Amino acid sequence: MLKALFWIALAAALIALPHALSFSQQEILVFLTINVLLVASYRLLTLTGEWSLAHVVIMGVGAYASAFYTKEFGVFVPVSMLLGAVTAALVAMVLSYPLFRMKGFYFLIGSFAAGEIIRLLWKRFRDPFGGPKGLKGIEPMPDFSIGIYDFDFFEPVSYYYFAATVVAVCLWLMWRIERSPVGLTFHAVHWQDKLAQAAGVNVQAYRTLAFVIASGFAGLAGALMAHYIGTINPNSFDVEVMVFVLTWAIVGGTATFYGPILGCVVLTILNEIVLREMGFEQMRPLIYGAILILSILFLPNGLESLVERALKPFRRTPASGTPAGDAPPASPASDTP
Amino acid sequence: MTDFLHVDGLTMRFGGLTAVDSLSFTVDHGAIHGLIGPNGAGKTTTFNAISGFYKPTAGKILLRGEEISGLKMHDVARRGVVRTFQHSTLFAELSVLENALVGTHMAFRPNIFAAIAGWDREDRHGARARAREALEFFGLDALMHERAGDLAHGHQRALGMAVAFAAHPDVILLDEPFTGMNPEETRAMMELMRKLRDSGVTILIVEHDMHAIMGLCDKITCMSFGKLLAEGGPEDIRNHPDVIEAYLGGARHVA
């Protein structure tokens, strides 16, 4: 009952939110929504214990692919977005063969190299990818109406509603995966891959599975972004963006499902609204870095640990479920606007 | 049934070092079989070769006449040979129940699409029931919701066996299960192993604790410097001159 009320209140707040914001803040809100999907999919990837530096490039694969399909073959935009996600997943699958011969730090470096290769291919080949200037004039999402609301995609508010719905569905899917036996196996692979193997788990297959699914969702995030801003170039997916994703995940904490999302939301608000208002234009990256260092020093378990501590008295069941707490309610009925 | 698990001419070489040298022995169905030997005799290497952790340099390992050597560890496990590890190798961050649930992976193979759609309800129930059963077997059901890393040492070792048991193994390979246990815990663990054998599981143990091995095993294989030294029942091994020499040093050294 309380849970249902919580989700209804959250949905109502998310629907009302853009109307309380300025135009530029509404645009930031759209990017924030897309970034929530990006960082949540990143957490899915880290469940098996491997941290990739190619995730943002994979997102770019989804963006490029979706833009390419609409441009070259005239594919209907929503379908093209899904195809972009599938393309990103397939690219991840191909990459997984060389990459999952490595573990830990080597995987990190290997994934960075793989990502840079893809990015340099975009820069080098002007024909399909547009070279360093990237793709321009990407077809926007066509307007449509669902009776009670007319989606006009020149308005960020409309795109926000659209993106938020897509992201909510994706988050629900990821949540289902994590709470399933598949998710448990991901955790098992993370904590003791040898023991998991002894229990008959094909560790390589599960690492690949997590990588491919996470990449699919990242690709969808990329496609959502490409059709919103209408232009993409190789530098929109460089390592700087990856550092932002890592910062969100680390500051938020990765032990719970909502941790990275919390990190993304809090840091974006801090960065785009608070610091901008206070006039720290040039110094924002510096402050961002300082926040990362401070949170590692003083909040090593991330923002989520604060929430967990605050919620502790209200928990009924003893610590069970996913490792390090099972924070969000068991049935996220609907958080779609 | 004889020739249940048969190690045939197993050789493991690491560079110039021959850790196991054409070792052959047979584990009978439904027996507790001990593998002993002084430090560096190659017991754990043999173990790792059987469980698929290493690929043998030469020789074969046969389960019911079917070759399992050279398979990957999870494939060996799927044939029914499940191992435990030295020390307390567990999913320390997961709960006791979740540890056992990972053990049920083979019987209830997770499917991602069924999991999203919610069609795997029966499988999840089945897996839970099996995990509970395994925990009850080892007397861990009261600790189900504890974090595995927080358990006492004896309970952690029992949980390691419960994870293996949940996988419905035909053969369990136990790697030094008595390490770091006090006599009380050792006795309880021996009791559990007899119970395990009586439930129809064949057990192969690598162990240093002579007292436990002698009291527990139906058959013992003794190795020294990678070679088979002696084989037989506990009494034969205890009085075997080669075994005594290998452990205590020969009379000629004493003089």
Say if the Cβ atoms of A181 and B91 lie within 8 Å.
no
A209–B contact, CB cutoff 8 A: yes
- Contact residues, A window 160-179, toward B, CB-based 8 Å cutoff: 173, 176-177
Question: What 3 state SS string does chain B have?
Answer: CCCCEEEEEEEEEECCEEEEEEEEEEECCCCEEEEECCCCCCHHHHHHHHCCCCCCCEEEEEECCEECCCCCHHHHHHCCEEECCCCCCCCCCCEHHHHHHHHCCCCCCCCHHHHHHCCCHHHHHHHHHHHHHHHHHCCCHHHCCCEHHHCCHHHHHHHHHHHHHHCCCCEEEEECCCCCCCHHHHHHHHHHHHHHHHCCCEEEEECCCHHHHHHHCCEEEEEECCEEEEEECHHHHHHCHHHHHHHHCCHHHHC
Please report whether residue A289 resides in a domain.
Answer: yes
Please report whether residue A253 resides in a domain.
Answer: yes
**Which pLDDT belongs to residue A81?**
94
**Which pLDDT belongs to residue B18?**
83
A188: chain B residues, CB-CB within 8 Å:
91, 94, 102, 105
User: pLDDT for B127-179, tens place per residue?
Assistant: 888 888 888 888 888 888 888 888 888 888 888 888 888 888 889 998 888 88
Please report whether residue A104 resides in a domain.
Answer: yes
User: pLDDT for A48-77, tens place per residue?
Assistant: 888 999 999 999 999 999 999 998 898 898
**pLDDT band for position B249 (50/70/90)?**
low
Domain count, chain A: 1
Tell which of A189, A202, A316, A331 to mutate to test the B interface (max B CBs under 10 Å). Answer: A202
Please report whether residue A5 resides in a domain.
Answer: no
- Contact residues, B window 14-73, toward A, CB-based 8 Å cutoff: 51, 53, 72-73
Cα–Cα nearest to A239, from A116, A95, A135: A116
Say if the Cβ atoms of B105 and A198 lie within 8 Å.
no
Please report whether residue A2 resides in a domain.
Answer: no
Please report whether residue A255 resides in a domain.
Answer: yes
Give the residue numbers spanning the domain of A106: 23-335
The two most distant CA atoms of chain A are separated, in Å, by 60
B53: chain A residues, CB-CB within 8 Å:
194
Please report whether residue A4 resides in a domain.
Answer: no
A201: chain B residues, CB-CB within 8 Å:
74, 102, 105
Distance, in Å, from the CA atom of B29 to the CA atom of B200, rounded to the nearest integer, reads: 8
Complex prediction ipTM = 0.84
B130–A contact, CB cutoff 8 A: no
Say if the Cβ atoms of B112 and A177 lie within 8 Å.
yes
Please report whether residue A55 resides in a domain.
Answer: yes
Q: Look at residue A326 and give its three-state secondary structure.
A: coil
Distance, in Å, from the CA atom of A48 to the CA atom of A26, rounded to the nearest integer, reads: 35
Distance, in Å, from the CA atom of A278 to the CA atom of A287, rounded to the nearest integer, reads: 12
**Which pLDDT belongs to residue A169?**
95
B88–A contact, CB cutoff 8 A: no
Lowest average pLDDT, out of A117-121, B121-125, B250-254, goes to B250-254
User: pLDDT for B37-59, tens place per residue?
Assistant: 888 788 888 888 888 888 888 88
Please tell me the number of Cα atoms within 13 Å of B57 on its side-chain side. 15
For residue A80, give the amino acid letter.
S
**Which pLDDT belongs to residue A174?**
93
Tell which of A47, A201, A203, A256 to mutate to test the B interface (max B CBs under 10 Å). Answer: A201
Tell me phi and psi for residue A25, to 5 degrees. Answer: -70, -35
User: Is the Cβ–Cβ distance between A220 and A166 less than 8 Å?
Assistant: yes
The DSSP bridge partners found for residue B95 are B147
Distance, in Å, from the CA atom of A260 to the CA atom of A252, rounded to the nearest integer, reads: 5
Distance, in Å, from the CA atom of B23 to the CA atom of B42, rounded to the nearest integer, reads: 10
CB atoms within 10 A of CB B192: 19
Say if the Cβ atoms of B90 and A201 lie within 8 Å.
no
Distance, in Å, from the CA atom of B232 to the CA atom of A285, rounded to the nearest integer, reads: 72
- Position with higher pLDDT, B1 vs A282: A282
- Position with higher pLDDT, B210 vs B12: B12
**Which pLDDT belongs to residue A316?**
58
Low-confidence ranges of chain A (pLDDT < 50): 318-337
Cα–Cα nearest to A323, from A295, A301, A292: A301
Distance, in Å, from the CA atom of B88 to the CA atom of B121, rounded to the nearest integer, reads: 32
Distance to chain A for B47, nearest Cα, Å: 13
For range B214-225, the mean pLDDT: 86
Percentage of the residues of chain B whose pLDDT score is greater than 70: 96
